[in-house]
Amino acid sequence: MTIYLPIADLPVNIFLLLALGLAVGFVSGMFGVGGGFLMTPLLIFFGISPGVSVATVATHITASSFSGSLSYWRRGAVDFQMAAALSAGGMLGTWSGIWIFTTLRSVGQLDLMISFSYLILLTTVGVLMVMESLRSIMRVRQNKPSLTRRSGGAHIWVHRLPLKVRFRRSKIYISFIPVFGIGYLIAVIGVIMGIGGGFLLVPMLIYLLRVPTTTVIGTAAMLTTATMAMATVMHAVTSHLVDAILALVLMAGGVVGAQFGARSAQNLAPERLRFLLGFLILAVGFRFGYELISTPERLYTIRILESGF
């Protein structure tokens, strides 16, 4: 059964889209990430234009991250104070990201920029994750105790910044500046690339801000909800590229898939999960790298400047 996507201007098999949503949702539930880094490339691969893909995936991530934040909220695992501080940066970041997105689109380098950012970001994060998780797996094999993340009172430059605020739920006392900055950075990257940025945000919160593992994922999901909800509205207003029908089908599959993913993850050790996720991220990154250097199928691309007269 095909359904006509009104904004993407394309008929697509509805079951294929639902399956895509389910599969990406499964992965996102399994690893506790939004899955945007998989969804956006897959939509582009299916022939939906990068612009529509990025804008529509923002809507999809809004749904999946909101569903996630609500379940963490019920368990009391959200630091609302920190989520608010992150979101303040996130709002500004979304605005900047939309501006960069629109500018790149008008000068015709949006597709290249999306491919390039995916390559750099995903291969870097993928390599780091795979290496880190391999080390953890080795340590578990040799029955050595895992390294404690909170290395005592070790202070890095982040902790010397002024404007310190006490985040009660996370029990940390830290400057507002890096919290705001991280929110800003993740939002800019997220808006341009069509990702929630959870796989970047969570490590940053843990390693830079020392947010405890009890609140980190719930708080990250809250920020992602805020930035992606805003990105949805801003993409809709500035570029008219959000396809509501596409988003609805994707998120319907996505939220269901996420539940199964979360359940199947319970039987896997965390370091193995990180290894698998790192491997997946790396694979997507390499795919983009291959696309940049291999001779494209079509050297000539067509962009519509003005239509319908």
Contacting positions for other proteins (CB under 8 A): 1-4, 6-7, 9-11, 59-60, 62-68, 70-71, 74, 108-109, 111-112, 116, 225, 229, 232-237, 240, 242-245, 247-248, 251-252, 255-256, 258-259, 292-293, 295-296, 298-309
Cβ atoms within 10 Å of 117's Cβ, excluding its own: 15
CA 284, 288, 290 angle in degrees (round to 5)? 115
Tokens 């290249």 belong to residue = 112
Cβ distance 114 to 105 under 8 Å?
no
Question: Minimum Å distance from CB 98 to other proteins?
Answer: 11
Q: How far is the CB of 162 from other proteins (least distance, A)?
A: 35
Neighbours of 40 (CB within 10 A): 27
- Closest CB 120 distance from other proteins, rounded Å: 12
Q: How far is the CB of 19 from other proteins (least distance, A)?
A: 18
> For other proteins, which is the closer residue by CB, 29 or 278?
29
Q: How far apart are CA 307 and CA 309, in angstroms?
A: 6
For residue 209, what is the DSSP state?
Answer: T
Q: For other proteins, which is the closer residue by CB, 26 or 275?
A: 26
Q: Which is nearer to other proteins, 6 or 270 (CB)?
A: 6
Q: What is the smallest separation between the CB atom of 51 and other proteins, expressed in angstroms?
A: 13
**Beta carbons of 271 and 133 less than 8 angstroms apart:** yes
Which residue lies nearer to other proteins by CB, 138 or 237? 237
Nearby residues of 308 by Cβ (< 8 Å), 6 or more positions away: none
How is 160-218 classified by DSSP, letter by letter?
Answer: G-SSEEEETTTTEEEEHHHHHHHHHHHHHHHHHHT---HHHHHHHHHHTT---HHHHHH
Q: Which is nearer to other proteins, 14 or 206 (CB)?
A: 14
Nearer to other proteins, 258 or 282 (CB): 258
Residue closer to other proteins, measured from CB, 266 or 295: 295
Q: Which is nearer to other proteins, 151 or 307 (CB)?
A: 307
CB neighbours of 268 closer than 8 A, spacing ≥ 6?
Answer: 276
The single residue listed with the structure tokens 């250097």 is 293
User: Nearest approach, Cβ of 236 to other proteins (angstroms)?
Assistant: 3
Cβ at position 38, least distance to other proteins in Å? 18
CB 129 within 8 A of CB 281: yes
DSSP for 230-251, please give it.
Answer: HHHHHHHHHT----HHHHHHHH
Per-residue tokens: 58 = 């923002």
Least distance CB 142 / other proteins (angstroms): 38
What is the amino acid identity at position 206?
Answer: I
